Amino acid sequence: MDQTGEPLIVLRGRRVLVADDEPESIDLVSTILVSEDYQVLSTTHGDEVLHQARLHQPDLILMDLEMPGMDGLSVAQALRHDERTQHIPVIFVTASAALENKLRALREGANDYITKPFHREELLARVNVALRLKALQDALRERNRLLAELATHDELTRLHNRRYLEQRLSEEVPRAKRYRLPLSCLMLDLDHFKRINDTYGHPAGDAVLRQVADILRTSVRSVDVVGRYGGEEFLIILPQTGAEGARVLAERIRQRVEQELFDIGGQTIHCTTSIGVAAASDGDVPDAGHLIAEADRALYHAKVTGRNRVSSAP
């Protein structure tokens, strides 16, 4: 960021793909761009533009209208319909000054249109504008992505957060009911976690939470949903999983946590977890809240009967 709070944009080193059926035109444009420290890729064939755009992800494409294979307009249209390339700006650099071609090029997704012969300063000015706009749009997309992730993920563990877990479970319950599928969830709580914070400090507790999150993340299937429910509690949603399968997974997780040496900055400690299991067969569950409450009751039973164990809801 600069002093005004705007993102600091560095254009040097940006990658530009130049496509023209005339090698002399490519050489001219490339020389101008290289003199300003841009990286240049080039091709004389329309089909190759798509290939290079997907492979190298250039920051800008300068392209002629007429090329062997696909013409420039067809390439622009294909670029805009491909998720991998739809955000790459396109400037047509062509000898055609016809208004019809300019309008059609802009309708097909071109960001700008330069006619040959062009002035060096004009080319660079238009290239700079296109690259600056792309950099700002990329930054905005990344910021939106991070905001969306923060809305559904726990910042410390990078697991899903409670709101997302409850939303997903509220979606899984109707699905289980409709297709009469089993559905289970596990509620985990780290034993004597407050003692860790009090003895070693909160940074140590955070380190333990992150390592437990890694254990959970690597213990489940891709269809399962893992999240931090709050504090030192975690919830795992297990679609199409009955009581026995849920209990087997819970015991495997309990053993992994018990055997783990938790690194808390220069020393290692042990930690255990208590796990409550709740399962519904054939979609027989009133609602998401009921399943969570059952898992929580089972967790409480595991706690009061000695900790470091798995307990199932009756």
Q: What is the pLDDT of residues 94-149, one digit of tens each?
A: 998 889 989 999 998 899 999 999 999 999 999 999 999 999 999 999 999 888 88
For residue 286, the model assigns a pLDDT of 82
- Cα–Cα distance measured from residue 165 to residue 153, given in angstroms and rounded to the nearest whole number: 10
Tokens, residue 260 = 């783990």
Torsion 34-36-39-42 (CA) sign: negative
Residues acting as catalytic residues = 232
Yes or no: say if 154 and 211 are a contact pair by the CB < 8 Å rule.
no
Judged by average pLDDT, the poorest of 90-94, 143-147, 304-308 is 143-147
pTM of the entire structure?
0.69
For residue 314, the model assigns a pLDDT of 77
Name all domains of the chain by residue range, CATH numbers in brackets.
15-150 (3.40.50.2300), 162-312 (3.30.70.270)
pLDDT digits (tens, 9 = 90+) for 151-194: 999 999 999 999 999 999 999 999 999 999 999 999 999 999 99
If one compares 6 and 51, the residue with the highest pLDDT of the two is 51
Cis peptide upstream of residue 117 (ω within 30 degrees of 0): yes
pLDDT reading at 237 higher than 60: yes
Tokens, residue 278 = 């709740």
pLDDT reading at 201 higher than 90: yes
Question: In degrees, to the nearest 5, what angle opens at C-alpha 164 toward C-alphas 160 and 167?
Answer: 150
pLDDT digits (tens, 9 = 90+) for 259-303: 999 999 889 999 999 999 999 988 788 889 999 999 999 999 999
Q: At what angle do helices 72-80 and 99-107 cross, to 10 degrees?
A: 20
For residue 5, the model assigns a pLDDT of 52
For residue 82, the model assigns a pLDDT of 95
For residue 7, the model assigns a pLDDT of 57
Yes or no: say if 60 and 16 are a contact pair by the CB < 8 Å rule.
yes
What contacts 208, CB < 8 A, 6 or more positions away? 190, 193, 196, 262, 264, 269, 271
pLDDT reading at 238 higher than 60: yes
Band of pLDDT at residue 6, cut at 50, 70 and 90 = low
pLDDT reading at 208 higher than 70: yes
For residue 266, the model assigns a pLDDT of 84
| DSSP-assigned letter for residue 39 | E
For residue 3, the model assigns a pLDDT of 52
